[in-house]
Amino acid sequence: MEQTRNLDPRIRECIRKRGFAELSEIQALALPQVQAGKHLVLIAPTGTGKTESAMIPVFDALLRERSAGFSALYITPLRSLNRDMLQRLSWWCRELGITVGVRHGDTTTTERRKQALSPPDLLITTPETLQALFMGKVLRKHLRNVRYVIVDEIHELASGKRGAQLAVALERLAEYCGEFQRIGLSATVGNPDEMGRFLCGERDFSVVQVDVTKHLELSVEFAGDSFEKQARWVGEAIDRHESTLVFVNTRVTAEALGHQLFSRGDVEVHHGSLSRDVRIDAEERFKSGKLRALICTSSMELGIDIGHIEHVIQFGSPREVSRLIQRVGRAGHSLYETSRGTILATGFDDLLESLVIARRAKAGEAESVHPPVNPADVLANQIAGLAVEYGRISRGRIRNILSRCPAFPSNGNLIDRVCAQMAEHRLIRLDGDEVITTLRARRYLAANLSMIHDERKVQVFDMVSRRTVATLDESFVVGSIYTGAVFITKGQLWRVLDMEEGRIIVEPARRVKGELPSWEGEQIPVPYAVAREVGRLRRTRSFQSYGAGEVSGQFASGFLTEMDRNRSRVPDDTLIVLEGGKEGVVCNCCAGHRANEALGRAVSVLLSARYGTTVGIEIDAYRILFQLPSHVGTAEVREALSGLDPAHVEGILQIAMKRTALFKWKLVQVAKKFGAIDPDADYERLSSYKLIELFENTVVQDETYRELFSVYMDVAAAGRILAHIRDGSITVETGRISLLGADGLFSSRDQIPPPLADHAVLSTLRRRIEGQEIVLACMNCRKWKSRTVAGRVQDHPVCPRCGARLIAVLKPWEEEQYAAAARKEKSEEEKTAEARLLRNANIVLSGGKKAVLALAAKGVGPEIASRILATLAEGDAFFAEILKAERNYIRTRKYW
Amino acid sequence: MSLGFFSGGPALLVSNTRRVLVVADLHLGIESDMARHGLHFRSRCRERLERLESCIRDASPDLLIILGDLKHGVPLTSRQEFREIPEFIERLRSLVAVQIVPGNHDTGIEMFFEPAEILPKEGAVVDGTGYVHGHMYPDPSLAGLLIIAGHHHPLASLKDEVGCAMRSPVYLFSPVDGECLGFPPGNRSPTRIMFMPAFNELSGYDLVRTVREPFSPISRCARWEAAEVFLPDGTFIGPVSSLEDYGADQEP
């Protein structure tokens, strides 16, 4: 064992006892680097001895020199990983006489007290508990001598706000104990250097990487598009191997597949909604060989040790390359063994996507991780943390600490804005340049250690059946639920009757027109690059070169041949096809979920502004469905799409997003992190539309937009598609709805509200006017009148008696005027009335139905009606004219 | 008599022989109560004063009537209220004569007003129009008049085909059953009530809920089938029935 020669003999003994003949590749690479005291990022799949490669040299150093308090911190994103690490490292620590402890949310008070009195050398913890360590005086003292910090699953943390929070925490730690050695462990990512910068900031670091792709054996299969066939295929595949992990993308699929395979008796389901005991039991039984297969969601992606896995099945496209590498990486691994994985594709899009992702995985083209830049709510959280930690701290010092974190580049002005906002919520006090803690700040911090949004669940109680029918996420409740609202959950319609502490009282609703908010949870988005390559594959049809098998290859080319036979153009990476159908217009655009989301929303805003209608959209990675009224078709969508300037997309989206449930949900989350809203706040005190007003033009609103535009949609990628349309490298064609356009599961539903709030007013007005009772009266023969409602009148009403089109429109209470007009002898007053009726009828003669509607409005007589008709306004604009006339009438009305 | 709608308030100008500007439900001090319920915002008292001042400038009234619930804390007066209310009223007094019809939140309001500025809480007739806060039976002297009332904070949800809602404070104009209110029988003209939207921008109560479950004498006696809804700028929305859930079934 050449590489271990300069290690402490006790460590070499341990390595021998563990039965390692030699170090694994990653261990051999990492050891000298860690020993040399370098900051390091280790990139290797789970199960390759990554943890040991970091810890063996750390143990070695601890044997030589230990100090009071914690010497090393091992940080993982999950409590379950903490427990797993404790098990793995306990053996080493026992053998070496190093003390080890774990501390996280589940740790008992006794254990915590023990740690405070005699801190272990090595503390395994989560980023959130690290935050808590800064709060206590005693624990803070124990942080004085930290010399090593190991961050596990760093790719998982770096991509979100938890990572930004951790990065600041590491700099806060450095304020206590000076510089320490930083070691990050990561799964395969497209940008390893970014992981290093995330961990170390401006400090020098090295990256040690094991090439997983050469040990990856991937295939893509297709077993028909019925779920029963697919489940049968999974069953047979399980039989072919000793142990199998079956990854699915949603909990619902996990349950459904489990249901099909339970009768075998050797399969269990494992996902986040199950209780911890059930999950641990399944893990144990799998480890001991009692189970042959586990059906799991991303819960099994991270490195929890469940023993040897021979084969990994990915049910349906993995959506992302890194996800596939991570999941399949769970198989194999006694060092150099190959990881074998099979993707079972479930449909056409799914198959092409799987082929593309498998190719990219083998080529090592994992997605890059993009840490958030300047997340203002993390900043607020950390400023509160610093205020509590120091009692009183200058903004200069805060600025200094943050300037070492790459997550907060050029944060000068942002810090001041965030401080001002927090002071407004009385979370901190400001005294010149100083930030001062408050009583509330400590309480806030205790409730907000985590940047993971802690969602409250709200029960839905059905008045009629008197039982709880569902639970909704708080976000949905805040955004879309108010008394009288109708929504969908569990496939049924409900109307909100009342909201009480923590629950919503509903009754079943029966019939509702149009789109409704529904709660179905989130999905994994397909990245832009994958969707573009799927487009290219549609164009080249070179399925064989992508390693498609006979069945899957035939299915894919058969599908496209059918398209050709129907004379449907196949949309690809250079062609967008707009297809008109019953539901609206499908825009086939291979750009991935996030770009399509941005594109779809922006175009729909233009359409609803231009045509004064509400536009519903549904999107997936390859299409956008615009739900449109019949007079808006493919030509109009094409015009909107081609005319959209990439530079305007973000501005348009800012306006559009503000009215969505998603925006409100995010705003509440961010506001909570700013201390404006307590975790147990009583939302009934304030309706959500007012909440939005309260945060208008604040840093809270800016952060909400920042997150929406970087996490939920990809404005930059949408801009690239639009630029391609402009320079002609993507052409836009129109056609009838095709096999491919109608295909695909639309699962992301949202309603795009109209561009003006006025639209709701106009819609209400229009419904009232169309429902207004009126009397049609013939002014030619003067012998026919009929009661009806304005909306039911035909375009040009005709008298059935004499065939004349000279029809006056009267309000029910004006009927007697008509009787008077038919009389031979008339008073002066009656003559005036008759003249007015004639004018009235003349307007209907020339204006038709529009005249009828105008005359049905409150206080609108022939003069005003003809003025309204003279504007030639149509649609919403026409009703806006009526509205103006009514407002005028009300202003001058004398009797109330 | 005519009504002027000032949507910047919302405030209502009642013009007859005098010009009377009416606002209802200011709920000054609401922020400290919200903070007790987990919602922390700075006081918006100054913005409310500015809004009211601008209404007064635009309407140039002879009298300002505050239709109750000037303050929020009940039964106690919060520190925030002690801090903000005296200055608020002083500022109004410097612009126009002020009177208040006390509401259910106005306990202890006597310490902020001169006795002559406080109208009876059962309501008063000023220049031919009745004024009540709206939480109790109105005085019989208001029978047969247009009565302006606060207390109900009416809020309407307007929906379009897609179900998107715009929510807005609104005026509700409704005839009321005088007998039900205990008014003496007589051949006077029918009594009508104009329910004011809350001036406080954070308050609002869905009017459909008030119609379904009336919670005050006047809302129980209102003849809702004939009630009409107006936006703060005077836009006529329609009868209350037009606001029932669009497209949804209604039980007969």
Tell me the pLDDT tens digit for each residue of A370-407: 999 999 999 999 999 999 999 999 999 999 999 999 89
Chain pair A-B, CB pairs under 8 angstroms: 163
CB nearest B40 (choices: A512, A514, A675): A675
Q: Which residues of B touch A879 (CB under 8 A)?
A: none
The residue-averaged pLDDT of A730-748 equals: 77
Inform me whether the pLDDT recorded for A776 exceeds 50.
yes
CB nearest B166 (choices: A516, A678, A757): A757
Dist. CA A320–CA A317, nearest whole Å: 8
Dihedral over Cα of A522, A524, A527, A530: its sign:
negative
Dist. CA B97–CA A357, nearest whole Å: 76
**Does the beta carbon of A567 lie under 8 angstroms from any beta carbon of chain B?**
no
Q: What residues of chain A, 828 to 857, have a C-beta less than 8 Å from chain B? A: none
Dist. CA B198–CA B167, nearest whole Å: 14
Inform me whether the pLDDT recorded for A513 exceeds 50.
no
C-beta separation of A812 from A835 below 8 A: no
Q: Give φ, ψ of A161 to 5 degrees.
A: -70, -25
C-beta separation of A868 from A844 below 8 A: no
- Phi-psi map region of A264: left, alpha, beta (phi>0 left; psi -120 to 50 alpha): alpha
Q: Which residues, including other chains, have CB under 8 Å from residue A462's CB and lie 6 or more apart?
A: A468, A469, A494, A506, A507, A508
- How many CA atoms lie within 13 Å of B177's alpha carbon, on the beta-carbon side? 10
CB contact under 8 Å between B34 and A685, yes or no, is yes
Strands across the sheet containing A467-473? A467-473, A457-462, A503-508, A492-500, A486-489
- The DSSP secondary-structure symbol of B225 reads G
Band of pLDDT at residue A889, cut at 50, 70 and 90: confident
Inform me whether the pLDDT recorded for A750 exceeds 50.
no
- Strand partners of residue B165: B159
Q: Which residues of B touch A677 (CB under 8 A)?
A: 38-40
CB nearest A690 (choices: B1, B165, B202): B202
Dist. CA B232–CA B230, nearest whole Å: 7
CB contact under 8 Å between A515 and B163, yes or no, is yes
Pick the CATH number of A376-447 from 1.10.10.60, 1.10.10.10, 1.20.1070.10, 1.25.60.10: 1.10.10.10
Neighbours of A75 (CB within 10 A): 25
Question: Which of these, A805, A771, A800, A813, lies nearest to A788 by C-alpha position?
Answer: A771
C-beta separation of B45 from B171 below 8 A: no
The residue-averaged pLDDT of A658-668 equals: 78
Peptide bond into A646 cis (omega under 30): no
Q: Give φ, ψ of A500 to 5 degrees.
A: -115, 175
- Residue A513 exposed, middle or buried by CB count within 10 Å (0-12, 13-18, 19+): exposed
Each residue of A326-341: b (16+ CB within 10 Å) or e? Answer: bbbbbbbbebeeebbb
CB contact under 8 Å between B158 and A760, yes or no, is yes
Residue B164's pLDDT is 54
Q: Give φ, ψ of A788 to 5 degrees.
A: -155, -175
Q: Which residues of B touch A883 (CB under 8 A)?
A: 235
Same fold, A213-362 and A376-447: no
The residue-averaged pLDDT of A503-531 equals: 67
Q: What residues of chain A, 450 to 489, have a C-beta less than 8 Å from chain B? A: 482-486
Tell me the pLDDT tens digit for each residue of A96-121: 999 999 998 888 888 888 988 899 99
Please provide the average confidence, as pLDDT, over all residues in chain A.
Answer: 86
Query: Helices marked H in A143-218 — which ranges?
Result: 154-158, 161-177, 192-200
Measured CA distances, A837 to A299, A719, A801, A834, A841 (Å): 75, 58, 19, 5, 6
**Does the beta carbon of B3 lie under 8 angstroms from any beta carbon of chain A?**
yes
Inform me whether the pLDDT recorded for A1 exceeds 90.
no
Q: Quick one: closest CA in B to A761, which residue?
A: B158
Band of pLDDT at residue A753, cut at 50, 70 and 90: very low
Q: Which residues, including other chains, have CB under 8 Å from residue B54's CB and lie 6 or more apart?
A: B8
**Does the beta carbon of A256 lie under 8 angstroms from any beta carbon of chain B?**
no
Tell me the pLDDT tens digit for each residue of A35-46: 899 999 999 877
Dihedral over Cα of B83, B88, B93, B98: its sign:
negative
Tokens of A606: 């233009």
CB contact under 8 Å between B161 and A485, yes or no, is no
Topology of the domain covering A2-209: Rossmann fold (3.40.50)
- How many CA atoms lie within 13 Å of A288's alpha carbon, on the beta-carbon side? 7
Neighbours of A34 (CB within 10 A): 25
Residue B84's pLDDT is 95
**Does the beta carbon of A203 lie under 8 angstroms from any beta carbon of chain B?**
no
Dist. CA A234–CA A230, nearest whole Å: 6
Residue B245's pLDDT is 52
- The DSSP secondary-structure symbol of A583 reads S
Inter-helix orientation angle B79-93/B45-59, to 10°: 20
CB nearest B162 (choices: A495, A751, A858): A751
Tell me the pLDDT tens digit for each residue of A797-818: 999 999 999 999 998 888 888 8
Inter-helix orientation angle A9-17/A50-64, to 10°: 150
Query: Domains in chain B, start-ordered, CATH in brackets?
Result: 2-232 (3.60.21)
Out of A283-292, A330-339, A791-800, which region has the weakest mean confidence (pLDDT)? A330-339
Question: Which of these, A575, A629, A628, lies nearest to A604 by C-alpha position?
Answer: A628
Residue A687's pLDDT is 66
**B172 Cα to chain A: minimum distance (Å):** 12
Query: Helices marked H in A823-874 — which ranges?
Result: 828-847, 849-855, 862-870
- How many CA atoms lie within 13 Å of A557's alpha carbon, on the beta-carbon side? 12
CB contact under 8 Å between A765 and B237, yes or no, is yes
Dist. CA A94–CA A82, nearest whole Å: 17
CB nearest A614 (choices: B162, B209, B248): B162
Q: Which of A764, A768, A769, A886 to mutate to test the interface with B (most CBs of B within 10 A)?
A: A764
CB contact under 8 Å between B2 and A511, yes or no, is no
Tokens of A476: 């949905």
CB contact under 8 Å between B1 and A690, yes or no, is no
CB nearest B40 (choices: A426, A689, A751): A426
Dist. CA A222–CA A358, nearest whole Å: 14
Secondary structure class of A687 (helix, strand, coil): coil
Tell me the pLDDT tens digit for each residue of A278-301: 778 888 899 888 899 999 887 777
Pick the CATH number of A213-362 from 3.40.50.300, 2.40.50.1070, 3.90.45.10, 3.40.50.10860: 3.40.50.300
CB nearest A509 (choices: B158, B159, B248): B248
Question: Which of these, B52, B69, B58, lies nearest to B9 by C-alpha position?
Answer: B52
Neighbours of B106 (CB within 10 A): 23
Secondary structure class of A12 (helix, strand, coil): helix
Inform me whether the pLDDT recorded for B118 exceeds 70.
yes
CB nearest B166 (choices: A485, A512, A760): A760
Measured CA distances, B95 to B51, B54, B65, B89, B117 (Å): 13, 11, 13, 10, 15
Q: Which of B79, B145, B153, B161 to mutate to test the interface with A (most CBs of A within 10 A)?
A: B161
CB nearest A484 (choices: B164, B230, B245): B245
- How many CA atoms lie within 13 Å of A649's alpha carbon, on the beta-carbon side? 26
CB contact under 8 Å between B206 and A484, yes or no, is yes
Q: What residues of chain B, 207 to 226, have a C-beta less than 8 Å from chain A? A: 208-209
Residue B251's pLDDT is 33
Inform me whether the pLDDT recorded for A512 exceeds 50.
no
C-beta separation of A246 from A254 below 8 A: no
- The DSSP secondary-structure symbol of A258 reads H
Dist. CA A445–CA A390, nearest whole Å: 14
Q: Hey, what amino acid is at A259? A: H
**A220 Cα to chain B: minimum distance (Å):** 41
Task: Provide the percentage of residues in chain A whose pLDDT is more than 70.
Answer: 91
Q: Could you tell me the residue ranges of all domains in chain A? A: 2-209, 213-362, 376-447, 461-508, 568-755, 766-892
C-beta separation of A343 from A237 below 8 A: no
Residue A474's pLDDT is 66
Q: What is the Cα gyration radius of chain B?
A: 18
Q: What residues of chain A, 615 to 644, have a C-beta less than 8 Å from chain B? A: 616
Question: Which of these, B62, B58, B69, B64, lies nearest to B6 by C-alpha position?
Answer: B58
Q: Which of A422, A767, A882 to mutate to test the interface with B (most CBs of B within 10 A)?
A: A767
The residue-averaged pLDDT of A451-469 equals: 73
Residue A273's pLDDT is 60
Inter-helix orientation angle A528-540/A592-611, to 10°: 90
The residue-averaged pLDDT of B213-219 equals: 93
Length of chain B: 252
CB contact under 8 Å between A514 and B163, yes or no, is yes
- Strand partners of residue A576: A732
